Amino acid sequence: VADRSEEAVVIAGHFGFAAGVKARAPAAPLWALMLGSQWLDVVFVPLLVAGVERLEPLDVSRPGAYGGAVIHADYTHSLVGALVLSALFGASFLARYGGRSAVVLGLVAFSHWLLDLPFHRADMPVLPGGAGGLPKLGFGLWELPAVAGGIELLIVVAGAAMYWTAARAVAGPDAAMRRRAHACGAAVLAAGLLTLGLNLLGT
């Protein structure tokens, strides 16, 4: 089940980003922001199972290592594929949450691709399926796990801090509401740190 942790790389960074966005766009539900930040990877899972997209571990002795894979997600993680999937994700919230939240959620879904870009090893095509033979994108930060992990940690802490601050502001002086805000902020931070820790351990 190494594959499951492989596809979870950068999950903590995406998660921290979504928590930060919640602070700025309170009308969009947190669960939808979290889902949106992972949406491309969510679609990736059935395609992985179907064999349309796949993972190629660099070190077969440590197949779950943090960032230790070339990811052949030629549809979900192609630039054009990511734009289409993100637009569909945002549009699905239009009727229920309104235009502003739909746009925010679509942008959060696309932020996954932008956040993946510095980390992936030049494995993200421009067109779905790598059509046209255009150069693949990705700056390969995973070659430097300490740097990549440090950047993710920063995103997690900054996102949780923004969310925490916003939750406290919304809670106002009410003691019960403040306790809830603290609990939510701590939970967001703990979940982010736990996810990052598990990835770094390669479990």
Q: Which is nearer to Zn ion, 39 or 164 (CB)?
A: 39
Min dist CB 154 to Zn ion, Å, is 19
Which among 26, 44, 189, 181 is positioned nearest to 123, based on CA atoms?
A: 44
Min dist CB 34 to Zn ion, Å, is 14
Q: Which is nearer to Zn ion, 4 or 179 (CB)?
A: 4
Alpha carbons 110 and 195: distance in angstroms, whole number: 21
Summarize as ranges the residues that interact with Zn ion (CB under 5 A): 41, 116
**∠ Cα 100 106 110 (to 5°):** 145
C-alpha distances out from residue 184 to 4, 24, 57, 122, 198, Å: 27, 16, 36, 37, 21
Min dist CB 77 to Zn ion, Å, is 6
C-alpha 180 chain-centroid distance: 25
**∠ Cα 181 186 190 (to 5°):** 150
Min dist CB 144 to Zn ion, Å, is 18
Q: Which is nearer to Zn ion, 41 or 152 (CB)?
A: 41
Min dist CB 150 to Zn ion, Å, is 19
Pairing, β 54-57 against β 69-72: antiparallel
Q: Which is nearer to Zn ion, 110 or 163 (CB)?
A: 110
Q: Which is nearer to Zn ion, 8 or 94 (CB)?
A: 8
